[in-house]
Amino acid sequence: YINIYSGHTNNWAVLVCTSRFWFNYRHVANTLSVYRSVKRLGIPDSHIVLMLADDMACNHRNPKPATVFSHKNMELNVYGDDVEVDYRGYEVTVENFLRILTGRLPPSTPRSKRLLSDDRSNILIYLTGHGGNGFLKFQDSEEISNVELADAFEQMWQKRRYNELLFIIDTCQGASMYERFYSPNLMALASSQVGEDSLSHQPDLAIGVHLMDRYTFYLLEFLEDIHPASKTNMNDLFKVCPKSQCVSTPGHRTDLFLRDPGSVLITDFFGSVRKVELTMETINLTDPIEQLESGELQKEMHTYADQLPVSEIIHQKPKQKDWHPPDGFILGLWTLILLVFFQTYGVKHLKHIF
Amino acid sequence: MGLLSDPNRRRALISLLTRLNTPICIVCYMAGVAWFMGLAFEPFTLRTYMSENAMGSTMVEERFPAGERALATGREFSAHKKRTGGMPVEWLMKTMQAKGLEVFTQRFSRTLPFPDENKERYMVRGTNVYGILRAPRAPRTEALVLSAPCSPGDNNNQAVGLLLGLAEYFRNQIYWAKDIIFLVNEHDLIGMQAWLEGYHHTNTTGTFCHSRGGSIQAALSLELSSDIITSLDLVLEGLNGQLPNLDLANLFYAFCQKIGVLCTIQGKLQRNDWDSVSGYSHAVQTMMLMVMKQASGRPWGDHGLFLRYHIEAATIKGVNSFRQYKTDATTIGRLLEGMYRKLNNLLERLHQSYFFYLMPSLSHFVSIGYYMPAFGLLAVILLLRALDLWVQLSTPPQRTEDGVTDIEPVRGVLSLLTPLVISHLTGVALYMLPIRFQEMAVEHFPVSETEAVVLTAIAVYTAGLALPHNTHRLLSGEGTEQGWRVLKLVAVLYLAVLLGCTALINFSLGFILALTLVPVAAFVTPHVPKVLSAFILVILSPACTLLFSVFFFQELQEMPISFQDGWLLFLSVISQGILDHSLYGSLVYPLITLLVYPCWLLFWNILFWN
């Protein structure tokens, strides 16, 4: 029995742009392009955590304020008028990012800033910025390493915070960021291999900066053809931006993923698809609804690890230990006592014992 | 035992040092000069490249349209300038206000220590007019400056016209993140000095500036005197030989290449044939022009005074010569627009590229790490001589009477102090007397004030040559063998420290002084033939170095002059040096009079020790 269906019931997206300053305009445009696609395919703002490290739309140097363009000649404004940025400016830090993923946020954090996923959530994580071999730079002042990221995903797995997770990264040497993953059900894509730089795509002369990175540009082109009912699968996503277009070699990693990538739909991660079944039969609902017998229920596939047994807290009873034969020290002590006894009082009493 | 602590090895080393001292010194000198000449050879230089990430490449779209209108404004400015006979303040204020800038004026007045004959001014009174374009959405924390001088006659009218045209165009754009200050300064450098002092609230010669735009990140000064030009010249050298960050030159060069305007530095066009003799000599000429200009310590454009405030600034001069391809004012406007848009993108001051460099051409440069060894080789000669003298001093003297050896050291110190003090007093006299006694000189001699100052300076300088014969009368006896050695040791070390410090701040000045003074310091002793060495010493003294530099500079600019004109130019250079020192704080004149000249006098003293 091969599970070709994902078994997820809700979709989340965490989209992060980690660099600030006007000349990193393209990273914000990257993130906003993916945001736009993900929203178009159905994931609502309440299920998207958007983190932008700098405000390009309202930067003093932007000749078209309140816009962020992803195509030159100002064809496509990805900022729009319905963008909801959850983490902005200096709030985009490594600590906040890891706290979002693991769920360890202070109680005062509003719901829009939390990743409230459960064990039936498919999560898309998109990172872009400046990176290197094994790290990603946040805000020009700190870094997240690939080990930290892998550990964060393992925490998510242990707390059952995702069903399946797609990780896309568009930075220089991006493939180094997914080298250390070890949790199940992770699929990863990167824009370049270790030792390669990811290049930017096209400058816009009126704005005076590069607008997009190549990988995300072709990714966006690919996603524009996806609609909620598409059956395009991950193998097509792996072919996005070959070396002839991207100059760097995009990479991907599927060995931790339980399903075959050919059976994974793009909309499993990028969209929020609800399957609707039409039925012509009437269904009788008895009143009150009767309980099904326990034998027909499908067995739970996963069990919670018993991290904090409640009984222990309430009753404070020590655990029953199994009986062990007395160890050598006790034996030796008793032998010594016996020998001393017989030494003192004579050997003839020995026959009383044996 | 170690190399230096083993007495046998030490003796061998010392004998090697004393035997080979002169050959090593000569070799070092040749090597230093050869290294310096080799700096202009293209394979030894690096191509210029943009170091600042925020400025990126030249990918902006320049859209400045109104070159002709700018020239018309320039003609209006010229007419009003003729009518008012100076700066047309009201007209400028009205025009700038009409273009949407916040306009302010600053009055200043300055009395020069003596009349400046080159520019014919003595008591200067003027007004600077500046308009601030406020950034539409940014706080008023940073600013850029574009300035054009208001020059008498027909000069720089087009510069002011273009400045006003750009002001109008910039006012309509919304992408400015810094305030832009458009400044028209009167009496070029004096007005600029007054404005900078007023802006930064330092010791002022004028009033404080009423309104500011924040800290200035970069400044460009524009000199344009014709409607169409054939090339643009970049001037980098500022006060005391300070240079702006190389990124500013790189920015200019990048935009010149993008727009297709011919760009030059030192007025010399770039050549591609670096492997031919004429190509190499062309590069050497360009580099020597830069060295000469930097060594003079005067600002060669209105931008030169900004550098002291750590504001990167350069002057762009429009040149109209006989060439086929002409560039109009719209293109120059576009180039400036592109440069300002890129400077707008800066997040911090320009600091990524070099501050100390030499440019044999606009696309190649030599950084401090490559040119310093040339000076280092010359300084090594001084240290070798000092070591040699130290060795000679520490070998016990062959004396028959024992009693004399005891008083030797005491007499040595005394005989040392006298020449030192007297030389420095002469230096102080050379520094202070010319200006102090100009009135007295004018009373007694039929000369103008400027001539009086200069001739007094030369007179004091020449009088210093007579000193050695006089200082000996103060000493109670003749100088000893020990005495002149100690004096020479002190003088050589003093010269080494002096030249080293000078070369750090102004490499060109330090190197030129080292070229002439190091041979003097190396070979002079009381035992060399007196007349010949006296002649050589005078030839290599600072004043004669200056005279030769004047002729050499004219040769490099391909405008050779006759001896009469050269002498007059030399006199005017001295007066300009004194004026620069009192007006802008140039350090060349005090350095030469208070430190270099006394040092040279010490060597003169040693020559006439007996």
Residue range A167-175: mean pLDDT, rounded = 91
Which residue segments constitute the domains of chain A, with CATH numbers given?
A: 10-270 (3.40.50.1460)
Classify the phi-psi angles of B153: left when phi > 0, otherwise alpha if psi is within -120 to 50, otherwise beta: left
Q: Per-residue confidence at B55, pLDDT binned at 50, 70, 90?
A: confident
Report the distance separating Cα B130 and Cα B126, nearest Å.
Answer: 13
Which residue of the set A27, A71, A172, A246 is catalytic?
A: A172
pLDDT at A24 > cutoff 50: yes
Q: Is B95 helix (H, G, I), strand (E, B) or coil?
A: helix
pLDDT at B403 > cutoff 50: no
pLDDT in the model for residue A301: 61
Q: Per-residue confidence at B406, pLDDT binned at 50, 70, 90?
A: very low
For B341-372, write each residue's pLDDT tens digit: 999 999 889 999 999 999 999 999 999 999 99
Classify the phi-psi angles of B45: left when phi > 0, otherwise alpha if psi is within -120 to 50, otherwise beta: beta
Q: Is B461 helix (H, G, I), strand (E, B) or coil?
A: helix
For B457-485, write each residue's pLDDT tens digit: 998 999 888 877 666 556 544 556 777 88
Among the partner residues A21, A206, A209, nearest to B61 by beta-carbon distance? A206
pLDDT: is B57 or B381 the higher one? B381
| SS3 letters across B381-443 | HHHHHHHHHHHHHHCCCCCCCHHHHHHHHHHHHHHHHHHHHHHHHHHHHHHHHHHHCHHHHHH
Q: Judge contact between B447 and B441, C-beta under 8 A.
A: yes
Tell me how long chain A is: 354
pLDDT at A87 > cutoff 80: yes
Kindly give the interhelix angle for B67-84 and B157-171, rounded to the nearest 10 degrees: 130
- The tokens of B14 are what? 């010392």
Report the distance separating Cα B312 and Cα B331, nearest Å.
Answer: 24
Report the distance separating Cα A57 and Cα B21, nearest Å.
Answer: 70
Classify the phi-psi angles of A334: left when phi > 0, otherwise alpha if psi is within -120 to 50, otherwise beta: alpha
Report the distance separating Cα B211 and Cα B131, nearest Å.
Answer: 10
Residue range B493-516: mean pLDDT, rounded = 95
Place of tokens 């004091």: B460
- Interchain pair A22, B175: CB under 8 A: no
Report the distance separating Cα A175 and Cα A253, nearest Å.
Answer: 9
User: C-alpha distances in angstroms, A293 versus A298, A299, B598?
Assistant: 11, 13, 113
Question: In this structure, what is the dihedral angle of CA atoms A105, A106, A110, A112, given to the nearest 10 degrees?
Answer: -10
Q: Judge contact between B270 and B361, C-beta under 8 A.
A: yes
Which residues in A lie closer than 8 A to residue B175 (C-beta atoms)? 60-63, 208
Q: Cα angle vertex B90, ends B87, B95, to 5°? A: 100
Among the partner residues A58, A206, A208, nearest to B345 by beta-carbon distance? A208
Q: Judge contact between A87 and A49, C-beta under 8 A.
A: yes
> Which of B50, B60, B340 to mutate to test binding with chain A, by most A CBs within 10 Å of its CB?
B60
What ipTM goes with this model? 0.78
Q: Judge contact between B381 and B59, C-beta under 8 A.
A: no
Lowest-pLDDT range, B99-113, B140-154, B431-445, B534-548? B431-445
Angstroms from A17 CA to nearest CA on chain B: 18
Angstroms from A265 CA to nearest CA on chain B: 40
Report the distance separating Cα B182 and Cα B151, nearest Å.
Answer: 16
Among the partner residues A23, A203, A206, nearest to B345 by beta-carbon distance? A23
pLDDT in the model for residue B546: 93
pLDDT at B273 > cutoff 90: no
Among the partner residues A62, A63, A208, nearest to B59 by beta-carbon distance? A208
Cβ contacts of B573-577, under 8 Å, gap ≥ 24: B573/B296, B573/B546, B574/B454, B574/B457, B574/B458, B574/B546, B575/B114, B575/B116, B575/B117, B575/B450, B575/B453, B575/B454, B576/B116, B576/B118, B576/B298, B577/B296, B577/B297, B577/B298
Locate the DSSP E strands across B34-91.
46-47
Q: Judge contact between B548 and B515, C-beta under 8 A.
A: no
Q: Judge contact between A247 and A218, C-beta under 8 A.
A: no
Angstroms from B333 CA to nearest CA on chain A: 17
Among the partner residues A23, A59, A206, nearest to B53 by beta-carbon distance? A23
> Which of A19, A21, A23 to mutate to test binding with chain B, by most B CBs within 10 Å of its CB?
A23
Report the distance separating Cα B42 and Cα B52, nearest Å.
Answer: 24
Question: Residue B135: closest CA among chain A residues belongs to which residue?
Answer: A60
Angstroms from B346 CA to nearest CA on chain A: 9
Q: How high does pLDDT run on average in chain B?
A: 88
Which residues in A lie closer than 8 A to residue B177 (C-beta atoms)? 59-61
A198 touches chain B (CB under 8 A): no
Instruction: Count A/B contacts: CB-CB distance under 8 Å.
Output: 44
A73 touches chain B (CB under 8 A): no
Q: Judge contact between B185 and B299, C-beta under 8 A.
A: no
pLDDT: is B394 or A143 the higher one? A143
User: What percent of chain B lies above the pLDDT cut of 70?
Assistant: 93
* Yes or no: domain B53-362 corresponds to CATH 3.40.630.10: yes
Angstroms from B352 CA to nearest CA on chain A: 16
Report the distance separating Cα B464 and Cα B443, nearest Å.
Answer: 24
User: C-alpha distances in angstroms, B587 versus B240, B241, B302, B594?
Assistant: 6, 10, 18, 11
The alpha-carbon radius of gyration of chain B (Å, integer) is: 28
For residue B26, which amino acid is it?
I
Residue range A93-117: mean pLDDT, rounded = 94
Angstroms from A51 CA to nearest CA on chain B: 23
User: C-alpha distances in angstroms, B596 versus B431, B460, B592?
Assistant: 12, 15, 5
Angstroms from A22 CA to nearest CA on chain B: 7
Lowest-pLDDT range, A102-116, A291-305, B164-178, B561-575? A291-305
pLDDT in the model for residue A318: 57
pLDDT in the model for residue B289: 94
A222 touches chain B (CB under 8 A): no
Question: Residue A25: closest CA among chain B residues belongs to which residue?
Answer: B54
Residue range B575-597: mean pLDDT, rounded = 93
Across A193-207, A337-351, B12-26, B385-399, which has the greatest mean pLDDT?
B12-26
Whether cis (ω within 30° of 0) applies to the bond prior to A288 is yes
Report the distance separating Cα A271 and Cα A260, nearest Å.
Answer: 19
Residue A17 annotated in active site: no
pLDDT in the model for residue B204: 63
> Which of A21, A22, A67 to mutate to test binding with chain B, by most B CBs within 10 Å of its CB?
A22
Q: Where are the domains of chain B?
A: 53-362, 415-608
Q: Per-residue confidence at A1, pLDDT binned at 50, 70, 90?
A: very low
Q: How high does pLDDT run on average in chain A?
A: 85
Which residues in B lie closer than 8 A to residue A206 (C-beta atoms)? 61
pLDDT: is B395 or A168 the higher one? A168
pLDDT in the model for residue B397: 60
- Interchain pair A60, B61: CB under 8 A: no
pLDDT at A305 > cutoff 60: no
Lowest-pLDDT range, A135-149, B1-15, B104-118, B541-555? B1-15
pLDDT at B229 > cutoff 70: yes
φ and ψ of B353, to 5 deg = -100, -175
Task: List residues of chain B with CB under 8 Å from any CB of chain A.
Answer: 53-54, 56-57, 59-61, 135-138, 173-177, 341-342, 344-345, 347
pLDDT at B238 > cutoff 60: yes
pLDDT in the model for residue B477: 45
Report the distance separating Cα B529 and Cα A104, nearest Å.
Answer: 91
pLDDT at A162 > cutoff 90: yes
Which residues in A lie closer than 8 A to residue B59 (C-beta atoms)? 203, 205, 208-209
Which residues in A lie closer than 8 A to residue B173 (C-beta atoms)? 63
Which residues in A lie closer than 8 A to residue B340 (C-beta atoms)? none
Residue range B37-59: mean pLDDT, rounded = 85
Which residues in B lie closer than 8 A to residue A73 (C-beta atoms)? none
Neighbours of B541 (CB within 10 A): 23
Place of tokens 């050959």: B23
User: C-alpha distances in angstroms, A177 versus A61, A184, B284, B345, B578?
Assistant: 33, 16, 52, 31, 65
Which residues in A lie closer than 8 A to residue B135 (C-beta atoms)? 60
Report the distance separating Cα B185 and Cα B149, nearest Å.
Answer: 5
Report the distance separating Cα B129 and Cα B87, nearest Å.
Answer: 9
User: C-alpha distances in angstroms, B131 versus A308, B230, B498?
Assistant: 72, 30, 44
Q: Judge contact between B510 and B375, C-beta under 8 A.
A: yes
pLDDT at A306 > cutoff 80: no
What letter would DSSP give residue B360? E
Q: Per-residue confidence at B491, pLDDT binned at 50, 70, 90?
A: very high
For B412-426, write each residue's pLDDT tens digit: 567 678 888 889 999
Report the distance separating Cα B282 and Cα B279, nearest Å.
Answer: 5
Report the distance separating Cα B546 and Cα B588, nearest Å.
Answer: 12
- The tokens of B280 are what? 């190499």
pLDDT in the model for residue B404: 47
pLDDT in the model for residue A298: 54
pLDDT in the model for residue B86: 87
- The tokens of B489 are what? 């040791």
